[in-house]
Amino acid sequence: MKRFKTRTTIKDVSRRAGVSVGTVSNVTNAPHLVAETTREQVQAVIDEIGYRPSRTARSLPARRTYLIGYRLPTPRERGLSQTLDVFLHELVETAYGHGLEVVLFTSRPGEDPIEAYREVARRGDVDGFVLSETNYEDPRIEYLLSAEIPFVAFGRSRGAERFRWVDVDGAGGVEEAMAHLFDLGHERIAMVAWPEGSESGDDRHQGYCRALEGRGIPYDPDLVIRVESGVESGHVALDRLLRLPELPTAVVCVEDLIAFGLMGEAGRRGVRIGADLAVVGFDDLPACEYVHPRLTSLSQPLGEVGRTLIDLLVDQIENPEALPASTMVSPTLVVRESSGARRA
């Protein structure tokens, strides 16, 4: 019966270096307490046999797990699904810089959304959570606040002053998109929005309003189409635009998916994107580069978001009493051919 190879432990080092385990521990955690010669000897042994303290074993006395929990979005849902790679990568990378790692979990459809968090928290398996896909009323936030479990959220929510969050300035982004369209000579600009009631959707819509106001253009409700998320909604949206007495010259979409659908339908209806109708999306999905013409879109700085989230979470873990400090980041407009050239 063969045995598993066993890791090298602090005892191996202590034996080999002829010092006590306490001293070895100090070499890694409090080197200043160890005489220089001893420290060097011990370090040499550590390097030689490649010893690393086990996270598991460290956790017990430290009452920390050095682990951060993140619940994956359901595949293909609105939100981070298509940009998960960038977001997660930065989360993991930044966490690593703080000596932390990221563990994943999911929740099953139909299940109480806080159940998965509660299970993880009960086992005491993480030091804190990163939340994404938040909304106005998010039961997870209420739960984590009341349970006094450290967390940070990607996205504001009701009671945002009570916790740490990072959010993208959707309104500002849309204003930037509108400014771009104004620059190109557009005046009659439509917006395809989601139904009212989502934090990011309402935020982006507000940017549309502010931009019009800043330009002194009256708000025309006919130019605002409300549809659900998804490509098919883009078909519907274009159809509605075509029923207007006069087609707008440009349209800002609340998400890329809708823009893609709108462009597809435009092709079928003989509307030339970029020439007859300028289109701007939101999210800057990879597919913006794949469609024809390529889609101008607002790129969320997901790397920065991930980084900041972890920094805030670490701050809260180490500093639970401090006042929540949160951050707003700005999207960047990536101009491509769908918003076309300056109008005559």
Partner DNA sequence: TTGTAGGCGTTATCAA
Partner DNA sequence: TTGATAACGCCTACAA
- Please give the residue ranges that form the binding site for a copy of itself (CB under 8 A): 2, 4-8, 50-57, 59-60, 63, 65, 67, 72-76, 80-82, 84-86, 88-89, 92-93, 96, 101-106, 118-119, 122-125, 147-148, 231, 256-257, 260-261, 263-264, 267, 285-287, 289-292, 294, 320-321
Measured from the CB of residue 10, what is the shortest distance to DNA in angstroms?
A: 3
Place of tokens 């191996």: 12
Q: What is the dihedral of CA 73, 79, 83, 86, to 10 degrees?
A: -70
Q: Kind of pairing, strands 189-193 and 332-334?
A: unpaired
Cβ 314 vs Cβ 98: under 8 Å: yes
Q: Which two tokens stand for residue 185?
A: 């000579």
Residue 243 binds which entry of DNA, a copy of itself, none, CB below 5-8 Å type-dependent: none
Residues 204-223 that bind DNA (CB under 7 A): none
Measured from the CB of residue 66, what is the shortest distance to DNA in angstroms?
A: 11
Beta strands in the chain, from DSSP E residues, in sequence order: 67-71, 101-105, 128-131, 151-154, 164-168, 189-193, 224-226, 250-253, 278-283, 296-299, 327-329, 332-334
Residue 103 binds which entry of a copy of itself, DNA, none, CB below 5-8 Å type-dependent: a copy of itself
Q: How far apart (Å, rounded) are the C-alpha atoms in residues 161 and 155?
A: 12
Measured from the CB of residue 130, what is the shortest distance to DNA in angstroms?
A: 24
Q: Is residue 99 a contact point for DNA (CB under 7 A)? A: no
Residue 96 binds which entry of DNA, a copy of itself, none, CB below 5-8 Å type-dependent: a copy of itself
Residue 221 binds which entry of DNA, a copy of itself, none, CB below 5-8 Å type-dependent: none
Nearer CB in complex with DNA: 31/286: 31
Measured from the CB of residue 152, what is the shortest distance to DNA in angstroms?
A: 25
- Cα angle 222-225-229, degrees, rounded to a multiple of 5: 175
Residues 6+ apart with CB under 8 A from 9: 51, 54
- Number of residues in contact with DNA, rule: CB under 7 A? 32
Residue 200 binds which entry of a copy of itself, DNA, none, CB below 5-8 Å type-dependent: none
Q: How far apart (Å, rounded) are the C-alpha atoms in residues 94 and 108?
A: 28
Measured from the CB of residue 20, what is the shortest distance to DNA in angstroms?
A: 3
Bond from prior residue into 293 cis (ω within 30 degrees of 0): yes
Residues 6+ apart with CB under 8 A from 244: 222, 223
Nearer CB in complex with DNA: 150/281: 150
Cβ 117 vs Cβ 151: under 8 Å: no
Nearer CB in complex with a copy of itself: 35/60: 60
- 13: number of Cβ within 10 Å: 24
Nearer CB in complex with DNA: 99/139: 99
Residues 11-70 that bind DNA (CB under 7 A): 11, 18-23, 25-26, 28-30, 33-35, 37-39, 51-54, 57-58, 60-63
Q: Which two tokens stand for residue 158?
A: 């009701």
Specify the stretch interacting with DNA by CB under 7 A; choose among 3-11, 107-115, 189-197, 264-272.
Answer: 3-11
Residue 38 binds which entry of DNA, a copy of itself, none, CB below 5-8 Å type-dependent: DNA
Measured from the CB of residue 123, what is the shortest distance to DNA in angstroms?
A: 7
Residue 86 binds which entry of a copy of itself, DNA, none, CB below 5-8 Å type-dependent: a copy of itself
Place of tokens 């109008």: 343
DSSP per position, 306-324: HHHHHHHHHHHHH-TTSPP
Which residues lie across from 226 on neighbouring strands? 193
What is the binding site for DNA (CB under 7 A)? 6-7, 9-11, 18-23, 25-26, 28-30, 33-35, 37-39, 51-54, 57-58, 60-63
